[in-house]
Amino acid sequence: MGKTGLEAHDKAVRKYLAGYAEEEINLVGEIRAQAPRFAHGLAIPCHAEGKNVEACLASVPKGERGRVLTVLVVNAPAGASETIRDSNALTLERIRLTHGNPRSLSASTLLYPHPAGALLVIDRSTRSPLPPRQGVGLARKIGADLLLALAEDGQLESPWIHCSDADATLPPDYFQQIGGVSTRGTAALLYRFRHVDAGDARQYEAALQYEISLRYYVLGLRFAGSPYAFHSIGSTLAIHAGAYARVRGFPRREAAEDFYLLNKLAKVGKIRNLSGDPLRLSSRSSFRVPFGTGAAVGRLLEAPEPTLETYDSRVFCGLRCWLRVLEGALEDSETRRDLRGRVIDNARRDGSIQGEVLLRALEETGALERAEAALAEPSANRGKRLLDAFDGFRTLKLIHCLRDIGLENLPLREALQQASFIPSIDNVLAAGTRELARGVEALDEAAGDSGA
């Protein structure tokens, strides 16, 4: 077995491949027989993408270390509409016309030449469609599992499993950006991103508002001191193979699979930001999944004037108070014995949120009960237990509860103006949405670069 960049005998990788990976890992032998070794691997789900996928595949650059294997999983659930099936069939035909004669690896898998290396197309639409309600999560898992198996087999050099989307275009330095990144202690890397104008002014306006709200949320988490302060965008991921196996891969979900995967990855290693050129993301509307850019844009466009609402900044003040109480409880036995009292005291000193409101939210979401259980552990286990007990999902649940019991959402610009953690933005608040988006992007990336 060749050197793969991950530990070749990692027990977690072997266990995952033996018991949890998708059946497509059985293609490894055929790929080994048909193609030279690859340097980089990229997995892309494709579901009724139309012409977007052509631009995406054309943007895949040559790898810094050598040949790139792009795994495109064309997918649809069983019982999908004729429109979706026809769109996928057209995608498969366009790939054939663009990339020439493929090598057949199985009844549903074709290996095409590609300027950057090779393109492996897995048809889970016309052949063996996906089970209901597993959607993009399973499609991502199929591609990522296969890349993990190739790495373990010595056919893939890089330890990073890249994941993107068929409506994203990649920058020329895409694979170069990971060149100097240490794998030690790092579970995943996040590429920069930016939504682009596709020629529809209202769609672009809506997409920019949604992008600003994403950055505002992460800035709020950083302000609060959350260890889960990072973007969860499936098209921007590079996941360390060993960490991917440890958390048992992508969840089979039809939406938010990126959020839940990163939530698990953050418990086994660092989530780090890259600093090269950004990915260019589509501004289209779509209701194929209930979350994400497409759905948010679609909902905004239903109104005469797209106006997004987002969290009141005081929910992040409440989160900050709570996290400070937890931090103190790790060191102070008195705090551990009286979490409720310390919440009230911290909120009173902060002055930006009522302690009774925060305490109610902590009780209703079960955060207090879980924290007390974690803090009852031996001292060596407390920090890890707290990280697990109050993770990114529980953080979001607390924020939603604070919203629902009184801190209602605000119009986007009002929320930005209110937020103390968004300084030096008054000059662009009155400007157009594009200028505002770039201003918030600069704040987001500066905070991310500083490790905040």
Domain ranges of the chain: 11-308, 314-404
User: What is the strand order of the sheet 279-281 is part of?
Assistant: 168-169, 279-281, 193-195
Has residue 3 got a pLDDT over 50?
no
pLDDT in tens, 222-231: 999 999 999 9
With 0-12 / 13-18 / 19 or more C-beta atoms within 10 angstroms meaning exposed / middle / buried, residue 279 is buried
How far apart CA 284 and CA 207 sit, in angstroms, is 8
Residues in contact with 381: Cβ distance below 8 Å, sequence separation at least 6, in sequence order: none
CA angle centred on 369, ends 351 and 356, rounded to 5°: 25
Which tokens hold the place of 361? Answer: 């939210």
Q: How would residue 61 be classed by pLDDT, with cut points 50, 70 and 90? A: very high
Mean pLDDT of the chain: 91
> What crossing angle do the helices spanning 11-19 and 135-152 adopt, rounded to 10°?
130
Rounded CA separation 150/325 (Å): 45
State mean pLDDT over 344-353. Answer: 92
Token pair of 393 as six digits: 């999902």
* Assigned CATH class of 11-308: alpha beta
- Conformation bin of residue 260: beta by default, left when phi > 0, alpha when psi is -120 to 50: alpha
Answer yes or no: is pLDDT of 344 > 50. yes
> What is the arithmetic mean of pLDDT over 80-106?
94
Q: Tokens for 366? A: 């079960």
pLDDT of 289 strictly over 70 = no
Amino acid at 350: D
pLDDT of residue 2: 40
**Which DSSP letter does residue 129 get?**
P
CB atoms within 10 A of CB 136: 26
Q: Is residue 452 over pLDDT 50?
A: no
Instruction: State the pLDDT confidence band at 436, using cuts at 50, 70 and 90.
Output: very high
Q: How confident is the model at residue 251 (pLDDT cuts 50, 70, 90)?
A: very high
Among residues 109, 139, 144, the alpha carbon closest in space to that of 34 is found at: 109
Residue 306 has pLDDT above 60, yes or no: yes
Q: How confident is the model at residue 286 (pLDDT cuts 50, 70, 90)?
A: low
Asked whether the predicted pLDDT for residue 368 surpasses 90, the reply is: yes
d(CA 23, CA 39): 23
Sign of the dihedral defined by the CA atoms of residues 21, 22, 26, 31, in that order? negative
What pTM, to 2 d.p., does this model score? 0.93
